[in-house]
Chain A
Amino acid sequence: MNELTNAQRVTRVAWIIFAINWMLVLLAVFLPIQGWAALTYGVWLLLSMPALALWLVWHYRVRFQTKRSLFLIIALLYISGIFVFGYRLNQPALNFVFTMIFWNCAITIGLTMGLFFWKNDFSIQFIGILSLLLLWGLIFLGRSQGAILQLFICNNATGMSCPYWPLAPLWCIFIWALPLGIIGFIRHTLQLLRDEW
């Protein structure tokens, strides 16, 4: 039997902790924890889950360099965002699950996108398509909800309770895509020039 490398050992441990964490999340409402225990539990989840997700994405980076994976993370981010910021459910456990999914995706989307742009020369097209989605999303939102300017300022200012802003996840992706896409574009341009000469 082949010896495991350090990375494989870490990955195995990460999977185990990841599974335990998700069990803790699912059992959250049933656990009678309060005070310091609750605080420790929350901080542990908030810090460990993204760290584990980042490690796992990095370890399986070859699989995360595809359009399908990127789309999956974006879809998860968008759907969980709807339930976190838009339509809160009456199920605290489910709300907590969606919050954790959103939190994980919001952190790992950057790494996934970075990996995707590093491997695929698709960054400019991605930014182009995303900017069109954002722009036309704003227009349709403006036409359907009205007061688009107020809505925009409200969602970007502190201390105001605002109606749900469905473009927020797209905006979040765009913020990640812009710098990463530019870096990806430069990397592929340099690569092409190096290959050619």
Chain B
Amino acid sequence: MNEVTSLIPIPDSLPVAALWLQILSLLTYFLHLVSTGITFGAAAQAIVAHHKGKQNPGWQEVAGTHNRILPFAIAFTINSGVAPLLFLQTLYGNFFYTSAIIMAIPLMTLLLFLMTSYYLAYWVVLKKRGSGKWKAGISLVVILSFTVVAFILVNINSLMLVPKNWKIYFSSMGGWNLNLNDPTLIPRYTLYLFLFLVIGGAFSAIFFSKNKKENSGLGFHFGANLAGYFSFVTAPAFTLFLLVLPEAIRDQLFNTSRLWGALIICFIILIILTGWFYLRRRVYLAGSLLVVSLILFVFIRDHIRFLHLQPFKDHFSPLAAQTQYGVMSLFFILLLLGVGLIIWLLIKVKKEYQSSTQQ
């Protein structure tokens, strides 16, 4: 047993084949990525809009809209984050828990940042008075908190992939660690931040294009520009991230399997096209391309994680003797019923709301 693998904990067994959990992980991570992007984007745009509101009151209205979106977006970001974390812990729990324990203090601190930003987001909405400058300041605190949260999570998720770095535990068993020596850390982190801004901008562009208010145009153009320019920035950021990956992984992505190389190139082309169409204000086409790009990104990200962990596949969870396909079926049935119920409810509420406002 070599020194690195000797540290990897023995995994628990899976109740169903790993493929099912993989699919659920991808699906729910996609939802989480989108809602995180909306949250991050709304906070970022609120700051700028508040700042611009000093000269043009129309921007204050745009800022107010972003502020109002924020509490919903945070709620869904947290909720949609639960599921991929659950499936991640099921598939790679022995890697994830180890990494989390090594960084216990940052992980616990994350909760404080999250709670602060969530309450502040509500506070800005509920506080009817207050200057734009002041609200911009609060929005800045909110986005800085999210930036810290994202940084901590990127640290944990990157350390879990590199068991040889786990020895830092012995230098601080109290959990005061970060994975700062990992060369992929900063490129990975910046890639996410850029991608969040693309998603946030894209959401605003769609949202304001449907909004009939007088100053919606400001929000629409700002969102489309944000999505457009940051799409262009995302392409080199992604390329840089690929370049700093360990050589063995790069080799497997581009040489061993042509499929993944092709998907990566597709992602880069699509994200550039997304930017191009946003800047030309073809937001629906750009939005569709962005969705496809994000789906590709989610797959590529998952595959890169798999490639990191592949050398330790003997430490992956085995299938349990007693499987739980019946319970999994119940989950799918309840998921469909739940989605159906919510859609039905939203339609009904919308109808009644519209008829009451018309009266």
Do A and B truly interact?
Answer: no
**Contact residues of B with A, CB < 8 Å?**
none
